[in-house]
A and B are shown apart, each in its own frame.
Chain A
Amino acid sequence: MRELSLHLLDLAENSVAANASRVKIKVIEESKTDLLQMSVEDNGKGMDAEMVTRVEDPFVTSRTTRKVGLGIPLLKEAAEACNGFLKIESQVGIGTTVFVQFQRSNIDRMPLGDLADTFFQLLITNPTIHWLFYYRINDQEFDFDDDPVKKELEGISLTDPAILNYLRLTIETGIQSLQTSDIG
């Protein structure tokens, strides 16, 4: 995968598969510390300590259709190649947080890519999950909680054309306004 936002999509799909009902995705870019940090925090079924160690290994997955899981090891390797790391905190029955850090200016760091698209698609295609998206570049932030939107919709499908348009623009303009104000 060539974009960090695709890895975020992949991590969030793990949360969905772990039956999470609430998922929070955070992305922070900071010039001062030269760091890019991302985390996906869920309240899914969680993993025991042994599974956490094994999940970073390229040959582990909870999936039964195929025996090899690659998402997390690939991201871990990408982070370590950029003076960063990947850390998983998990508790059975409580949930899992995956945290990953990169040196922001590192030449090998993958571009963030289309973060808006990742957020938008997760929100639309998993309507029963409570999504929280947070993105910060230096002191500019975008903070999105889907709860007020879903309350307002009262059961209207998120895939209705007018609703899609509203949500897409909300997320795209929110994220673009941060990225255009960051010229560094």
Chain B
Amino acid sequence: MTTIKSLEDLKKAREEALKKREVKAASGMAQVIVGMGTCGIAAGARDTMKAILDTIEKDSLNGIIVTQTGCIGLCEKEPIVQVVIGNEPKVTYGKVDPEIAKRILDEHVVHGKPLADHVIQM
């Protein structure tokens, strides 16, 4: 039969999340967007997305919203990752492999310094 972890575990996780949310709220939300069109997926966007979600989970990063978008017309630059922090303008990165994705989270999203070497000028 199906193994589904109990909703009790989820309740605990939710309470934990609520506590941490209060701490984070002041520093503003960060949004990370991964291109998940056919071109993105074929170029390895699932591994890039996996690295992002794994890093958030393992490093307990709060206040980050991760979403996907379709093809934005730059297929040759996929996998593409975009970062929006608070009211700052959107930064677009190209050819983001799992290693670069981890650096984007650490250096840009957490420490506020965009990576110079992988930015695409839009």
Using known A-B contacts A121-B46, A126-B68, A165-B57, determine if residue A149 contacts B62 with beta carbons closer than 8 Å: no
A residues contacting B by CB (< 8 A) are: 1, 6, 9-10, 13, 16-17, 63, 65-66, 69-71, 114, 117-118, 120-121, 124-126, 141-144, 148-149, 152-154, 156-157, 159-166, 168-170, 173-174, 177
Please give, as numbers and ranges, the residues of chain A lying within 8 Å of B75 by CB-CB distance. 66
Please give, as numbers and ranges, the residues of chain A lying within 8 Å of B13 by CB-CB distance. 160, 162-163, 165-166
Q: How far is the CA of A1 from the CA of B1 in the complex (A)?
A: 32
Q: Do the beta carbons of B60 and A121 come within 8 Å of each other?
A: no
Q: Does B101 contact A (CB under 8 A)?
A: no
Q: CB-defined interface of B49-61 with A at 8 Å, one 1/0 digit per residue?
A: 1100100110111
Contact partner of A141 (CB less than 8 A), chosen from B2, B57, B68, is B2
B residues contacting A by CB (< 8 A) are: 1-5, 7, 9-11, 13-14, 16-18, 20-21, 34, 36-39, 41-42, 46, 49-50, 53, 56-57, 59-62, 64-68, 70-73, 75
Contact partner of B10 (CB less than 8 A), chosen from A10, A66, A153, is A153
Write the chain A residue with the least CB distance to B34.
A125
A-B contact count (CB 8 A): 120
Say what secondary structure dominates the interface of chain A.
helix
Using known A-B contacts A1-B41, A124-B53, A125-B67, determine if residue A166 contacts B10 with beta carbons closer than 8 Å: yes
Q: Do the beta carbons of A174 and B46 come within 8 Å of each other?
A: no
Q: Do the beta carbons of A9 and B41 come within 8 Å of each other?
A: yes
